[in-house]
A and B are shown apart, each in its own frame.
Chain A
Amino acid sequence: MSQEKALLSVENVETYYGNIRALSGVSVHADPGEIVTLIGANGAGKSTLMMTIFGMPRARTGRIVFDGKDITQLPAHEIARLRIAQSPEGRRIFPRMTVQENLQMGAGLDKMEYYDEDVRMVFDLFPRLKERINQRGGTLSGGEQQMLAIGRALMARPRLLLLDEPSLGLAPLIIKHIFEAIKELNKSTGLTVFLVEQNAFGALKLADRGYVMVNGIVTMSGSSKDLLANPEVRAAYLEGGRH
């Protein structure tokens, strides 16, 4: 395994909500420049892993290492300052702020020197946001809100981008558009992406590697191609309707 050069590695992490164990001995990693996806059904613990990386909630056992630094015990805002950005589940944009203000929030408030450059990059990626620049976040459509959430995360110039279900509740055409944007971004800037998805087919098509999670345990991992071809994965997540 390429654990040593991994940008992010999660090692044997267990997370609890009170007394309920949500993650049991989860180990995943992401190498620089790759898109890794974590697929699984509702309630498998995908979002919990995402939030655990951010220290909300904290891992009870195990280690999370980012770029050689142990971040397991760091508070969330310090993790974010290492330039790990997140587009959280349910988008969580600021509804009463304008698109521009939302993007400014992503830029990290006190370091604005790259702001113009980054905003241009986000608008190139999602031209729709440029049209809506002075509109309040809450008045955007679901797809535009998702674009804004990703754009806001990108404003932090992340080295690692965590995306939690960007396809949630969106029309297939818009999902396609967003996935293409992620791919383009990864290709042009070499951004490392960790993608959590229920939409297994789309996610595996996009990613280089994938993990399958069931009940808080990683049951399978491998290259996307292998996972797509794997009969178990096909039976559980792919057959019966490509989302």
Chain B
Amino acid sequence: MADTQVSGRSPVFAKAIKEGFVAGALALGLFLLIVGFRTDQNIRNELVLTQRWGLLAIFVLIAAVGRFLLTAYITPWFAARSRTKRVAAVREPSSIRKYFPKIGLLLLFLYPFVVIGVLAAYNGSWMGGLQGSLKYVDNFGIQILIYVMLAWGLNIVVGLAGLLDLGYVAFYAVGAYSYALLSAQFGLSFWLLLPMAGIFAALWGIMLGFPVLRLRGDYLAIVTLAFGEIIRLVLINWTVVTKGTFGISGIAKATLFGIPFTAGDGGFAKTFGLPMSGVYYKIFLYYLILLLALLTAWVTIRLRRMPIGRAWEALREDEIACRSLGINTTTTKLTAFATGAMFGGFAGSFFAARQGFVSPESFVFLESAIILAIVVLGGMGSLVGIAVAAAVMIGGTELLRELEFLKRIFGNDFTPELYRMLLFGLAMIVVMVWKPRGFVGNREPSAFLHKRKMVSSEFTKEGHG
């Protein structure tokens, strides 16, 4: 037994060492000019060549050691695992997977208080916990949930109806500017403007939907891409209304049913007798976006069980079959665009209320691409998969800002957050290699119209009796 293992090991080892060297050499060749040298402009506008041998060595080492570990340990481990898996054959889905959505939901609702509690214990004071939690609630919680909501909204268009939309951020922009402009011009409240922003975005969705009804796939993608850019360019150039690239600042904050989050007498802290802190507003925003995201999920789940949701899914699978089954593909597509856009609009007005400032900068194509990437990575149509993808991708990006220790390795001018696209790329490759249909690739069959069927069969029984 031991003998065979050793004799099986050593050739793998030799191979791993060899491949490690090759990978190192390749990395050296690739990065020599890109990483090893760097040109800087000095104060007299001259280009100065700096050499970064240390950084280059780190890159080469990572490649060589990584390749060595992959060949020597990771690949054999996966091979062994898949062998045992085949023996185990059919397994019941583990209880963690089964209860994952419920546990996740509970954690999401408790998250701000857990953060405050942990930080309060760490700092030894209640106020310290409150102030310290600001970053975690805002940067991680709210930021991730905005993208969860956007991705769930886009999921209706891309995941369910199968209409590839590369300009989703346009509806986000419409929502944000609707709120910003209407609240500045007419002083309307957040709670009134939230649904209005959704309706405006939905109207734009229909407006986009009409001309592109006959398009599918690549052609649709190009037109929606153009639509997203048009909206952005209008926002930049229609300076009379939108103030162009300066953006709109001083947007009114949201209120808790009329109670503003201000320091003054009628403010939230005074009303409830709490110590003053800016964190209440963030926690309020956290729950607001959580509820908005859950609304998106709930509507998606409900719609999937209704004729229109099923029609969307049928449309994704086969448009011709749909038409010959009596489905009006025109209205089906338009409702998909409108519904997806509406949630984009909700998210947009929330974004404006949170930032207090909107400018066309926030609505570039990259945002559309990130949202789409989250939908694809999560598995088209799967709400849980998309939420996990958003948490990993956006949380990962935010996490990069925290990795100060990397500066000690890569040097002081290393800014980790600039590498977020690298993270996206890596995650995409990894997911697409292991799970080509996304984290959760399988479509759950939808229980369909159970209630109505029962009612109608009762009717027929009565008729017969």
Assess whether A104 is in contact with B448, with CB atoms less than 8 Å apart. yes
Assess whether A101 is in contact with B445, with CB atoms less than 8 Å apart. yes
Q: Which residue of chain B is the closest to A98 with respect to CB atoms? A: B445
Assess whether A56 is in contact with B448, with CB atoms less than 8 Å apart. no
> What CA separation (Å) do A21 and B275 show in the bound complex?
81
> What CA separation (Å) do A100 and B453 show in the bound complex?
14
Assess whether B307 is in contact with A56, with CB atoms less than 8 Å apart. no
Q: Out of B320, B328, B443, B445, name the residue touching A100 (CB < 8 Å).
A: B445
Assess whether B453 is in contact with A112, with CB atoms less than 8 Å apart. yes
B43 within 8 Å of A (CB atoms): no
Assess whether A80 is in contact with B453, with CB atoms less than 8 Å apart. no
B138 within 8 Å of A (CB atoms): no
Minimum C-beta distance from A138 to chain B (A): 9
Query: When A94-B314, A97-B313, A112-B452 are in contact, do A77 and B328 touch as well, CB less than 8 Å?
Result: yes
Q: Out of A56, A85, A92, A116, name the residue touching B453 (CB < 8 Å).
A: A116
How many A-B pairs with Cβ below 8 Å? 78
> What CA separation (Å) do A16 and B314 show in the bound complex?
28
Query: When A80-B326, A101-B310 are in contact, do A96 and B443 touch as well, CB less than 8 Å?
Result: yes
B131 within 8 Å of A (CB atoms): no
**Residues of A close to B459: CB separation below 8 A:** 113
Minimum C-beta distance from B230 to chain A (A): 30
B96 within 8 Å of A (CB atoms): no
Query: When A97-B317, A116-B457 are in contact, do A106 and B445 touch as well, CB less than 8 Å?
Result: no
> What CA separation (Å) do A66 and B445 show in the bound complex?
36
Query: When A94-B318, A113-B460, A116-B457 are in contact, do A108 and B325 touch as well, CB less than 8 Å?
Result: yes
A95 within 8 Å of B (CB atoms): yes
Assess whether A110 is in contact with B307, with CB atoms less than 8 Å apart. yes
A105 within 8 Å of B (CB atoms): yes
Considering only residues 71-94 of chain A, those with a C-beta below 8 Å from chain B are 75-78, 80-81, 85-86, 88, 92-94
**Residues of A close to B325: CB separation below 8 A:** 80, 105-106, 108, 152, 156
> What CA separation (Å) do A134 and B447 show in the bound complex?
11
B412 within 8 Å of A (CB atoms): no
Q: Which residue of chain A is the closest to B453 with respect to CB atoms? A: A112
Binary contact track A176-202/B, C-beta < 8 Å → 1, others 0: 000000000000000000000000000
Considering only residues 303-349 of chain B, those with a C-beta below 8 Å from chain A are 307, 310-311, 313-314, 317-318, 320-321, 323-329
A123 within 8 Å of B (CB atoms): no
Minimum C-beta distance from A130 to chain B (A): 16
Q: Out of A92, A113, A152, name the residue touching B456 (CB < 8 Å).
A: A113
B192 within 8 Å of A (CB atoms): no
A235 within 8 Å of B (CB atoms): no
**Residues of A close to B457: CB separation below 8 A:** 113, 116
**Residues of B close to A54: CB separation below 8 A:** 323-324
> What CA separation (Å) do A98 and B314 show in the bound complex?
12
Assess whether A112 is in contact with B318, with CB atoms less than 8 Å apart. no
Assess whether A88 is in contact with B324, with CB atoms less than 8 Å apart. yes
Binary contact track B427-465/A, C-beta < 8 Å → 1, others 0: 000000000000000010110110011001101100000
Assess whether A77 is in contact with B326, with CB atoms less than 8 Å apart. yes
Minimum C-beta distance from B458 to chain A (A): 11
**Residues of B close to A94: CB separation below 8 A:** 313-314, 317-318, 321
How many chain A residues touch B (Cβ–Cβ < 8 Å)? 33
**Residues of A close to B317: CB separation below 8 A:** 94-97
> What CA separation (Å) do A140 and B101 show in the bound complex?
31
Considering only residues 45-83 of chain A, those with a C-beta below 8 Å from chain B are 54, 56, 75-78, 80-81
Minimum C-beta distance from B348 to chain A (A): 31
Assess whether A92 is in contact with B320, with CB atoms less than 8 Å apart. yes
Q: Out of B313, B321, B452, B456, name the residue touching A88 (CB < 8 Å).
A: B321
> What CA separation (Å) do A56 and B329 show in the bound complex?
13
Query: When A77-B328, A112-B452, A156-B325 are in contact, do A105 and B445 touch as well, CB less than 8 Å?
Result: no
Q: Which residue of chain B is the closest to A100 with respect to CB atoms? A: B445
Assess whether B449 is in contact with A93, with CB atoms less than 8 Å apart. no
**Residues of A close to B321: CB separation below 8 A:** 88, 92-94
Minimum C-beta distance from B385 to chain A (A): 15
Assess whether A86 is in contact with B453, with CB atoms less than 8 Å apart. no
Minimum C-beta distance from B16 to chain A (A): 39
Assess whether A56 is in contact with B320, with CB atoms less than 8 Å apart. yes
Minimum C-beta distance from A116 to chain B (A): 7
Q: Which residue of chain B is the closest to A81 with respect to CB atoms? A: B326
A126 within 8 Å of B (CB atoms): no
> What CA separation (Å) do A27 and B267 show in the bound complex?
80
Q: Which residue of chain A is the closest to B460 with respect to CB atoms? A: A113
Assess whether A112 is in contact with B456, with CB atoms less than 8 Å apart. yes
> What CA separation (Å) do A146 and B318 show in the bound complex?
16
**Residues of A close to B443: CB separation below 8 A:** 96-97
**Residues of B close to A104: CB separation below 8 A:** 310, 448-449
User: Can you pick out 5 interface pairs between chain A and chain B where the beta carbons lie within 8 Å of each other?
Assistant: A54-B323, A54-B324, A101-B448, A104-B310, A113-B460
Pairs A-B, 6 closest by C-beta atoms? A80-B326, A109-B307, A76-B323, A92-B321, A94-B317, A113-B456
Binding site for B on A (CB under 8 A): 54, 56, 75-78, 80-81, 85-86, 88, 92-98, 100-101, 104-106, 108-110, 112-113, 115-116, 134, 152, 156
Binding site for A on B (CB under 8 A): 307, 310-311, 313-314, 317-318, 320-321, 323-329, 443, 445-446, 448-449, 452-453, 456-457, 459-460
Known: A54-B323, A97-B317, A116-B453. 10 other contacts (CB 8 A): A54-B324, A56-B320, A77-B326, A92-B318, A92-B321, A94-B317, A97-B443, A101-B448, A109-B327, A112-B456
